[in-house]
Amino acid sequence: MVAGSKAVVCERCAAMGEILEELHEPPKHSEIKRIEQQKSATIEKANKAEEVVGDIGVLVRRKREEFGWKQEELAKKISEHESMIKRIEHGYIPSLNIAHKLEKVLHIRLTEYVTPGNQEYVPSSRGVAPTLGDVIIIKREKKH
């Protein structure tokens, strides 16, 4: 409110009156597009679960050997015990936390996003009650 009139004014002129409401510049087209993409990515991630890849042991061993590191060296780089590296390389699936540490050090992708609703029934081939492994096959999508 400036000089008894309600008006849209610059900051300097607003100092001469009373601010009733602040107006903000509308976001630019490129900003709107970026915000929409972020929202879309967030929703997409919310609908998926992050999982460690099944062949992590092979990938870790191959990359470790490529760097010329011993299991003990890799373990020190990620602040874990050497026995953990041995277990992973022999088929153990580690926590996401350990997988993420390995990803950073080895510069490879060891996790992926899985869509929980993307499952299908697979009958047991043994003629006995199915295990969880028999019941579902999870279709994986590569992490972006």
* Within a domain: 36: no
CB atoms within 10 A of CB 56: 21
Over residues 66-104, the pLDDT tens digits come to 999 999 999 999 999 999 999 999 989 999 999 999 999
What is the domain range of residue 69? Answer: 50-141
In a domain, 125, yes or no: yes
DSSP 111-142: EEEEEEEEEEE---SSSSPPPHHHHEEEEEE-
pLDDT in tens, the chain (144 residues): 877 778 887 777 777 888 877 776 666 666 666 766 666 655 556 667 788 888 999 999 999 999 999 999 999 999 999 999 999 999 899 999 999 999 999 999 998 887 765 545 455 455 556 565 555 555 555 555
Please report whether residue 24 resides in a domain.
no
Is residue 115 situated within a structural domain? yes
- Tally the domains of the chain: 1
Query: Which amino acid does the sequence have at 49?
Result: A
Q: What is the number of other CB atoms lying within 10 angstroms of the CB of residue 121?
A: 9
Question: Which CATH number goes with the domain that contains 96?
Answer: 1.10.260.40
SS3 51: strand
Asked if residue 97 is part of any domain, the answer here is: yes
Whether 94 and 56 have beta carbons less than 8 Å apart is answered as: yes
Cross-strand partners of 50: 113
Contact 122, 134 (CB under 8 A): yes
